[in-house]
């Protein structure tokens, strides 16, 4: 197996709410002989600043790209938001030398220059293009036969199609194929490509929770034993907030939500402990036990929910409160 | 949701800070220059190509569960020159930037970018949702958009994960200082008055 070296871009969401994603991804990448180099310096990819000022977003992204260029390595990230932001800015600036010069003017004082010499890939695209299905199939030692799961790609990994070109946003195949490589069955369901709603949660929680309920209803109806995600934000919406969705709408799901590397890791023979299954809010015992016992019989006992945790949403909900920009500037950074 | 003949009525879908109900358009509200201004802004160049087919709204996941958020209507209001109704609209902030509208628009209008341009203009005009304000503050202080709680950092050690990469908030302020909204960041006082990043987060119980 060829050895490859990538600059690992964690982003903000992974350290705050994606530890099991990070742990499992690092484990499978090590097994796949991929060397991860940590970013020597970093800041938020820039995406959250886009609603405030588009150029500010571009500057933050370009700074990260410039830092990566100094290392001479391509970026690998687990967060579709970071991946699409870095890609989008890279693509725009490469195509527009004038804009590139403008952005470099802003970066000047820090001694950094953006040149456009590196690329960014999300784990999913990396597994598809750089590892490849054949290699992946060779490392599967514990095929997950008898496991029926559903996939959730999320938005930034697929759209806009003009920027993200490695899959078809209307009929995505990459994640499905990668799931099937583990031996599990990937079920089809209604509104597969629908947004998880997390970005809207801070303005209107009800809408976000309704979107999550919609998804959970569809995958429950399809008979999926777990949902597989590749985004820390989507995962928060379906795992961390699942009890909240259940409570709000008086539903029962208890559907485990696994990060794709956790699923792949199981099929590579890693243990649930090694893959940080203990960090999942919805107890995944039902599936781990089924995989451990050589029977197709499903457990009928519902495992208990993990102790109540304060949901991400509860923390971010501000009920659409608005504040004057001037107040903000006065309070925090005014002259 | 219908326009009455004789008296143009704006759809109830758009609520503003001051009004949540249908309000007839007053001539004084109309700013015919608005759309030309938009057309020059990166991201909104194709606003004139919109022929109001409604594909964006019908495929929008937020519109599906919201009584008020309608991307097509926002573009329509901009066409009509109703600057304040667009920019004061609290529903503007509901878009989850899923890009479905942009991918499916038969006219290749970059709907999500137009919404983003509206947001940028709304901020210029002086309004920012609380959540976004808090995020921006954290970003300027720590380099991360949300504070990484001490408990998480400890947990990383327990799991044997490498330490989080260093950030350099001072350089962030430097590179953003010529950008509207951030342009009033004063290097010296900012360091003095900005609250220091908190080691622990009270809200964190994970
Ligand atoms: S889909 Fe495109 S053309 Fe149709 S209403 Fe929306 S922006 Fe306009
Ligand atoms: S990008 Fe915004 S407006 Fe467009 S479909 Fe998604 S949520 Fe709706």
Minimal Cβ distance to B99: which of A63, A155, A320: A155
Q: Do B194 and A49 touch (CB under 8 A)?
A: no
Task: Give me the DSSP letters along A278-292.
Answer: GG-SS--HHHHHHHH
Per-residue pLDDT, A326: 58
Contacts of A170 in chain B (CB under 8 A): 103
- Return the axis-axis angle of helices A97-107 and B169-176, rounded to nearest 10°: 130
Q: How far is CA A331 from CA A153, A321, A327, in A?
A: 40, 17, 6
**A328 at interface of B, judged by CB pairs closer than 8 A:** yes
Q: Tell me what the mean pLDDT of segment A140-145 comes to.
A: 96
pLDDT in the model for residue B202:
30
- Which two three-digit tokens encode residue A323? 């504040």
pLDDT in tens, B111-160: 999 999 999 999 988 878 888 888 898 999 999 999 999 999 999 999 99
pLDDT class of B181 with cuts at 50, 70, 90:
confident
Q: Quick check: A52 and B190 CB within 8 A? A: no
pLDDT band at B185 (very low <50, low <70, confident <90, very high): low
First to last CA, chain B: 44
* pLDDT computed for residue B118 by the predictor: 97
Q: Does the structure show a pLDDT above 70 at B2?
A: no
Q: Which residue, by CA, sits nearest to atom 3 of ligand 1?
A: B50
Please give the Cα distance from A43 to B169 (Å, whole number).
8
Return the structure tokens found at A104. 């470099």
Going by alpha carbons, the residue nearest to atom 2 of ligand 1 is B105
Query: Domain A4-123 adopts which CATH fold?
Result: Glutathione S-transferase Yfyf (Class Pi); Chain A, domain 2 (1.20.1050)
Domain with residues A142-333, CATH architecture:
3-Layer(aba) Sandwich (3.40)
Q: CA end-to-end span of chain A, whole Å?
A: 57
Looking at residue A322, its pLDDT comes to 60
Bridge partners for B7 per DSSP: none
Which ligand is nearest to the Cα of residue B47, counting in written order?
A: 1
Does this model's pTM top 0.80? My answer is yes
Domain boundaries, chain A: 4-123, 142-333
The Å distance, Cα A84 to ligand 2 centre, comes to: 16
Is the distance from CB of A38 to CB of B129 less than 8 angstroms? no
Supply the ipTM of this predicted assembly.
0.87
More confident call, B17 vs A239:
A239
Task: Inform me whether the pLDDT recorded for A323 exceeds 90.
Answer: no
A108 contacts A42 by C-beta, under 8 angstroms: no
**Interchain contact, A207 vs B168, CB within 8 Å:** no
Helix spans in chain B (H): 34-39, 55-59, 61-65, 71-80, 83-87, 100-104, 111-125, 130-142, 150-158, 169-176, 187-193
Which is the closest atom of ligand 1 to the Cα of B51?
A: 3
What would the pLDDT profile of A185-209 be if each residue is shown by its tens digit?
999 999 999 999 999 998 889 999 9
> What would the mean pLDDT of A150-157 be, rounded to a whole number?
97
Looking at the partner chain, which of B167, B185, B203 has a beta carbon nearest the beta carbon of A310?
Answer: B203
Query: Domains (ranges, CATH) in chain B?
Result: 4-124 (1.10.1060.10), 130-186 (no CATH)
pLDDT of residue A297: 46
Q: Is A161 exposed, middle or buried (0-12, 13-18, 19+ CB in 10 A)?
A: middle
């Amino acid at each position: 197996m060829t050895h490859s070296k990538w600059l690992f871009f964690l982003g903000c969401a992974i350290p705050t709410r994606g530890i099991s994603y990070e742990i499992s991804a690092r484990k499978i990448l090590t097994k796949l002989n991929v060397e991860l180099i940590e970013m020597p310096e970093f800041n938020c990819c820039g995406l959250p600043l886009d609603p405030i000022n588009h150029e500010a977003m571009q500057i933050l992204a370009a700074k990260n790209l410039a830092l990566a260029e100094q290392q001479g390595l391509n970026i690998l990230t687990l967060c579709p938001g970071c991946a699409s932001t870095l890609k989008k800015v890279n693509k725009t600036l490469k195509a527009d030398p004038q804009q590139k010069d403008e952005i470099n003017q802003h970066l000047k004082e820090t001694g950094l220059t953006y040149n456009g010499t590196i690329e960014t890939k999300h784990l999913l695209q990396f597994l598809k293009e750089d590892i490849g299905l054949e290699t992946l199939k060779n490392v599967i030692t514990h095929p997950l036969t008898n496991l029926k799961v559903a996939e959730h790609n999320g938005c930034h990994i697929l759209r806009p199609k003009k920027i993200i070109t490695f899959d078809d946003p209307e009929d995505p195949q990459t994640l499905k194929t990668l799931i099937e490589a583990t031996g599990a069955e990937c079920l089809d369901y209604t509104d597969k490509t629908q947004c998880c709603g997390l970005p809207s949660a801070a303005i209107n929680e009800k809408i976000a929770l309704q979107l999550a309920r919609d998804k959970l209803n569809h995958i429950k109806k399809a008979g999926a034993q777990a949902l597989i995600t590749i985004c820390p934000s989507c995962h928060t919406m379906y795992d961390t907030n699942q009890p909240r969705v259940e409570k709000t709408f008086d539903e029962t799901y208890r559907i485990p939500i696994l990060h794709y590397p956790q699923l792949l890791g199981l099929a590579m023979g890693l243990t649930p402990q090694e893959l940080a299954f203990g960090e999942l809010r919805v107890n995944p015992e039902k599936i781990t036990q089924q995989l451990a016992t050589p029977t197709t019989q499903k457990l009928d006992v519902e495992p208990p929910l993990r102790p109540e945790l304060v949901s991400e949403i509860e923390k971010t909900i501000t009920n659409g409160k608005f504040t004057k920009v001037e107040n903000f500037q006065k309070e925090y950074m005014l002259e | 949701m219908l326009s009455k003949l004789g008296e143009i009525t704006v759809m109830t879908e758009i609520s503003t800070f001051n009004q949540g109900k249908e309000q007839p358009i007053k001539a004084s509200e109309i700013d015919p220059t608005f759309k030309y201004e938009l057309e020059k802004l990166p991201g909104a160049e194709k606003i004139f190509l919109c022929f109001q087919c409604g594909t964006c709204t019908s495929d929008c996941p937020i519109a599906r569960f919201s009584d008020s958020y309608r991307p097509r209507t926002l573009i329509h209001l901009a066409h009509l020159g109703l600057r304040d109704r667009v920019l004061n609209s609290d529903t503007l902030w509901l878009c989850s930037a899923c890009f479905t509208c942009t991918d499916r628009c038969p006219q290749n209008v970059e709907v999500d970018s137009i919404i983003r341009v509206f947001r940028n203009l709304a901020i210029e005009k002086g309004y920012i949702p609380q959540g976004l304000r808090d995020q921006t503050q954290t970003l300027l202080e720590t380099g991360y958009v949300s504070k990484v709680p001490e408990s998480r950092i400890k947990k990383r050690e327990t799991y044997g994960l490498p330490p989080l990469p260093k950030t350099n908030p001072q350089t962030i302020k430097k590179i953003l200082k010529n950008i509207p909204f951030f342009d009033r960041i004063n290097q010296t006082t900012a360091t003095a008055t900005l609250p220091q990043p908190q080691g622990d987060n009270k809200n964190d119980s994970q």
